[in-house]
Structure 1
Amino acid sequence: MGYRLQHWTVAFTLGLLLFVYTLHLHAAPLLLNPEKNGQSATGYLSYLLDQNGQLGIQEITGSTFQPLEGEARLGFTDATLWLALDLQQQSTLPQEWWLEVVFASLDEVHLYTQTAEGHWQQQTLGDLQPFAQRPIEYRNFIFPFQLNNNQLQRIYLQIRTQDSLVAPIRIWSVKQFQRWHLMENLLLGLSFGIMLAMFIYNAILWWVLRDRLYGYYLMAAATAILTITELNGYAFQYFWPNSIWLANYQHVLVPAAYFVALTAWGRMFLNTAQRTPRLDIGLRLVNLFAALMLLSVVVGEYRLGNIMSFVVGLYTMILFSWVSIKVALTQFLPAKLFMAAQLFPLIGAALTVSRASGLVPNNLLTEHGFQLGVTIEVLLFSLALAQRIKLLKSEKKAAQKRAETDPLTGLYNRAGLFHHSKKRLNRPPHKVAVLLIDLDHFKPINDQMGHAVGDQVLVTVAERILAQTSLGIDVVGRLGGDEFVVVLDQSADERATATAEQIRKALAYPIVTTEGETHIGASIGIACSTDASSTLEALIKQADALMYQAKRARHQSHASSY
């Protein structure tokens, strides 16, 4: 008895599994609701692969289809894909429906629908036909069709392509598609608007500054925008709607141009030849790969070039992420923005794939995640460029300041003195006074107390001279040794004499050093200019002669010439 019970239990279980499996072989019909927003056919499709591409609609209707798990994604294949979809509308009234193939890069797509008389009606779309032949002007493939009653009806799709075979299917009512299309245009218009704004802004900067780096950015941004339009189908719709050759080969030509432009921009921006020379070799190889992609077009190996575009794109993205991380670790701050920019297209692509896999809801943001990621990438590239230019200007300014500054006293050296005095001399009414200051009794301090103490004295002298001048108006510098120069801007004769006397008195006070107090004096020569013909060199020479007169006179503190 126990044996028989066990036998019937096993038989019942096997029968139940067979029944479930039989149900599984027949995909459930998709109930169409005109109020729903783009009903996905995922989970309702059955498929058949025609390896030789010889089957027609008559042979297909009698063939066995297998349920399709998820979306139709076969990658690169020579086989023809047949999809079967059972539909039933919830309304008894005739309703026009639009079937959308949510992928813009397919060579041939045929839709077969059955008329009320039982005849099969065929519609053909694909990027091997001029865009004007499409019944609905849209970047993706849209087939209008009707269901005449509420009975179950089967439709078939036949797809063959040299591109990657990806064919997500959505069914729309006309009203819901128009609403979706309006919102999509707003979102994508904002996306393209941001990218174009960044392009125009940096184009103006390039035109004004003539900086090559801006030119490389413009090439990268332009090819990025073109790549997005190529992937979304807008390039075929707006740029070359009548060129079948470009519609086909754009999937190789545009990415190749983008890889070259992105690599040139990234290498120059990150200065990889200096910062990461070994990885820079890998980046240079991208140009070789792009050339091979173009060669595949020339020799007619389109599929090879298409596969290479996927591989080279992944290689370039991974390598640039690695390079930007290494450069960022060198404390080159703009590299952090560059690295962040690289992440957003990856996040966008992951979001789009997750939507296709059913992991996230289907909406405008998830469907266009990759384009939005590239938009943020272009924006961050622009910010990184601005940060890099600002950093370079800051470094250049700091280098110029070092080149014009006396390292001991912090005053201008000879080069800085001449550079910053030029504007004062050329500014009307050209009233400039030059004070040449030579320290008295400095050599014995250096010889007896050492150069370290002498340096302390020079630093104190510089501070006391600065204290007697107007910051930002007058120019103070050290010619070398114990000679200092003060250029008084727009100075009256009386101010020059008064300032010289104030400096002499300030320097007469004892100077405290690590070796004790010491005393120095100063001889000052004053030369003044009242016209544009005077040069700083001539005025210093004149003041120098008068300064030596003051030294010889001993009883004088300064001598003047007007």
Structure 2
Amino acid sequence: MKWPVFVLLLAALFTCAPLNARPLLLEGGALPIEAQGYIERLDDPDGTLSPEEAMLAPRWQALPGNLNAGFTDATIWLRLSVRVPASVVPTWALRLDNALLDDVRLYQRESDGRWSEQRAGENLARPLWPVDYRSAVFPLRFAEPGDRTLLLRLQSKNAMSVSLDLEPGQQFSNHSRREFFAYGLYFGVYLLLIGFHTVFWRMTRAPESGWYLLYVNCCVGIEVLSLGLPQQLLDLPVSLSDSLLGVALALSIPIGMIFAGRQLGLPQVYPRLQARLAVLCWGIAGVAALAVLSGHYGEGAMLSQGSALVLIPFFLALAFWLLLRGHRPARYYLFAFGVFYAGAVISFMRNLGYVPSNVWTNVVSPIGSMLHMGLMGSSQKTENKAR
């Protein structure tokens, strides 16, 4: 092959590659259709591009999985091509799994060439969302078979970890009702746990029970706000919900550290270390909370989550060291906290952009948290009975 021909073919290949992204075939099924592997990403640092300008921009990049951009001030565009067969149901729902996105806009080109827009996100009042759900959901209607291009414009001061899925509209309605019921059971168990241990603490006045209650309330608050359930049910404004979440993340550092240290028995073996760590963690929490309340949510959240990622391996290493020295509380600590720490680390690293966002990294934290709280609840009852 002559060099000029080879160069022209190579140039055509690289030029056309972004335009020939695989369309996602919409087929009915029992499970939602995940869009990972079919999504393209475009960064818009100034947030000034129109849908037409974004569509024609040359900087689109195919994503191997879901979007996982961490904390960013840039506007991010996502492009998804779907193929609608003739036999498919006409009404679908496009769901974004991240409930903390501030501004989400879906653009579709109409038959007359103009772009239609749907909006959701925490900056928009809940009654104005297209679908009443905890995260952004957009109804789609395909009147005719063929290929369609969906453009999403995303902005958020929270971590930009997003996965997309599509399913028929009626199927989404059924799934959302079952999901709401499941979350009701899940957090109902937590409420029973909190109520029982509140009564138990009031009766015994044991310090360990008091710290356990603070610990559980903080963890549950972070989890429920991250899922977007209070925002949906109570129509919380983003200024309040983000402040509550950011401060809860900050307070989780000293509360979690003090509770973990007491469970590990640090006040007995290393009292100075426990006291100094407490002072350090309260200082970090104060700085992170002030950053959140002063309008620097991303910086405060990154400080809180980054501190947790440092403290967790430190405490695990310390527990291993004490276990080797025959310290009995270290064995149970490694068992009970190891499950929780694994879920928390994966969740934080997903938020910071180090691990992909998918169904497993999204559910590992709630599962680990529930197992951990159950183990810690039983240990609190045993310890207080022993006293």
TM category (shorter chain) comes to 0.7 to 0.9
Describe how 1:507-546 pairs up with structure 2 within 5 A.
Answer: none
Structure 2 residue corresponding to 1:178, chosen from 173, 182, 194: 173
Name the residue aligned to 1:252: 246
Describe how 1:218-367 pairs up with structure 2 within 5 A.
Answer: 218-238=213-233, 240-277=234-271, 279-280=273-274, 281-329=276-324, 331-348=326-343, 367=362
Structure 1 residue corresponding to 2:121, chosen from 126, 132, 149: 126
Q: Is the 8 A contact 1:203 1:218 kept in 2?
A: yes
Q: How many pairs align?
A: 381
Q: Which amino acid letter does the alignment assign opposite residue 83 of structure 1?
A: L
Residues in 2 aligned to 1:260 and 1:203: alpha-carbon distance in whole angstroms: 21
Q: Is the 8 A contact 1:74 1:165 kept in 2?
A: yes
- SS of 1:61's equivalent in the other structure is helix
Larger radius of gyration: 1
Residues in 2 aligned to 1:348 and 1:9: alpha-carbon distance in whole angstroms: 56
Structure 2 residue corresponding to 1:38, chosen from 29, 32, 38: 32
Taking a change above 3 Å as real, the CA distance of residues 221 and 294 of structure 1, as seen in their structure-2 partners, is: same
Q: CA deviation at 1:359?
A: 9.4
Q: Is the 8 A contact 1:229 1:235 kept in 2?
A: yes
Residues in 2 aligned to 1:234 and 1:245: alpha-carbon distance in whole angstroms: 16
Q: CA deviation at 1:20?
A: 5.6
Residues in 2 aligned to 1:11 and 1:347: alpha-carbon distance in whole angstroms: 55
Q: Is the 8 A contact 1:338 1:380 kept in 2?
A: no
Q: Is the 8 A contact 1:108 1:124 kept in 2?
A: yes
Name the residue aligned to 2:74: 79
Cα-Cα RMSD = 3.0
Q: Deviations over 1:257-307 (max 9, x none)?
A: 322322332333334233123542234311111111111134332221121
Taking a change above 3 Å as real, the CA distance of residues 81 and 130 of structure 1, as seen in their structure-2 partners, is: same
Q: State whether structure 2 residue 37 is matched by structure 1 residue 57.
A: no
Q: Which amino acid letter does the alignment assign opposite residue 110 of structure 2?
A: T
Q: CA deviation at 1:223?
A: 1.0
- RCO comparison, higher one (Cα < 8 Å, 6+): 2
- SS of 1:117's equivalent in the other structure is coil
TM-score w.r.t. structure 1 length?
Answer: 0.61
Q: CA deviation at 1:181?
A: 2.9
Q: CA deviation at 1:333?
A: 3.7
Residues in 2 aligned to 1:357 and 1:273: alpha-carbon distance in whole angstroms: 34
Residues in 2 aligned to 1:349 and 1:89: alpha-carbon distance in whole angstroms: 39
Residues in 2 aligned to 1:286 and 1:46: alpha-carbon distance in whole angstroms: 40
Residues in 2 aligned to 1:228 and 1:140: alpha-carbon distance in whole angstroms: 14
Q: Which amino acid letter does the alignment assign opposite residue 25 of structure 2?
A: L
Taking a change above 3 Å as real, the CA distance of residues 180 and 244 of structure 1, as seen in their structure-2 partners, is: same
Name the residue aligned to 1:209: 204
Q: Which amino acid letter does the alignment assign opposite residue 160 of structure 1?
A: Q
Describe how 1:143-162 pairs up with structure 2 within 5 A.
Answer: 143-162=138-157
Taking a change above 3 Å as real, the CA distance of residues 330 and 388 of structure 1, as seen in their structure-2 partners, is: farther
- 5+ residue gaps, structure 1: 1-7, 394-562
Q: CA deviation at 1:221?
A: 0.7
Residues in 2 aligned to 1:310 and 1:274: alpha-carbon distance in whole angstroms: 28
Residues in 2 aligned to 1:278 and 1:14: alpha-carbon distance in whole angstroms: 69
- SS of 2:86's equivalent in the other structure is coil
Name the residue aligned to 1:106: 101
Describe how 1:460-539 pairs up with structure 2 within 5 A.
Answer: none
> Which stretch of the first structure deviates more once superposed, 50-59 or 184-193?
184-193
Q: Deviations over 1:188-234 (max 9, x none)?
A: 34432333332222222112212122111111111111111122112
> Which stretch of the first structure deviates more once superposed, 113-122 or 47-56?
113-122
Q: CA deviation at 1:350?
A: 7.0
Q: CA deviation at 1:17?
A: 6.0
Q: State whether structure 2 residue 191 is matched by structure 1 residue 200.
A: no
> Which stretch of the first structure deviates more once superposed, 308-317 or 16-25?
16-25
Q: CA deviation at 1:334?
A: 4.1
Q: Is the 8 A contact 2:47 2:74 kept in 1?
A: yes
Taking a change above 3 Å as real, the CA distance of residues 143 and 201 of structure 1, as seen in their structure-2 partners, is: same
Q: CA deviation at 1:323?
A: 3.9
TM-score w.r.t. structure 2 length?
Answer: 0.87
Taking a change above 3 Å as real, the CA distance of residues 9 and 334 of structure 1, as seen in their structure-2 partners, is: farther
Q: CA deviation at 1:58?
A: 2.9
Taking a change above 3 Å as real, the CA distance of residues 153 and 357 of structure 1, as seen in their structure-2 partners, is: farther
Taking a change above 3 Å as real, the CA distance of residues 273 and 96 of structure 1, as seen in their structure-2 partners, is: same
Q: Deviations over 1:54-108 (max 9, x none)?
A: 1112322332333223211122222211111111222356611111111112111
Residues in 2 aligned to 1:132 and 1:267: alpha-carbon distance in whole angstroms: 45
Residues in 2 aligned to 1:256 and 1:349: alpha-carbon distance in whole angstroms: 14
- SS of 1:248's equivalent in the other structure is helix
Residues in 2 aligned to 1:259 and 1:386: alpha-carbon distance in whole angstroms: 24
Q: Deviations over 1:20-49 (max 9, x none)?
A: 645642211111113252111111122221
Q: Which amino acid letter does the alignment assign opposite residue 47 of structure 2?
A: G
Residues in 1 aligned to 2:175 and 2:361: alpha-carbon distance in whole angstroms: 14
Taking a change above 3 Å as real, the CA distance of residues 189 and 339 of structure 1, as seen in their structure-2 partners, is: farther
Structure 1 residue corresponding to 2:363, chosen from 365, 368, 371: 368
Taking a change above 3 Å as real, the CA distance of residues 386 and 332 of structure 1, as seen in their structure-2 partners, is: farther
Q: Which amino acid letter does the alignment assign opposite residue 108 of structure 2?
A: T
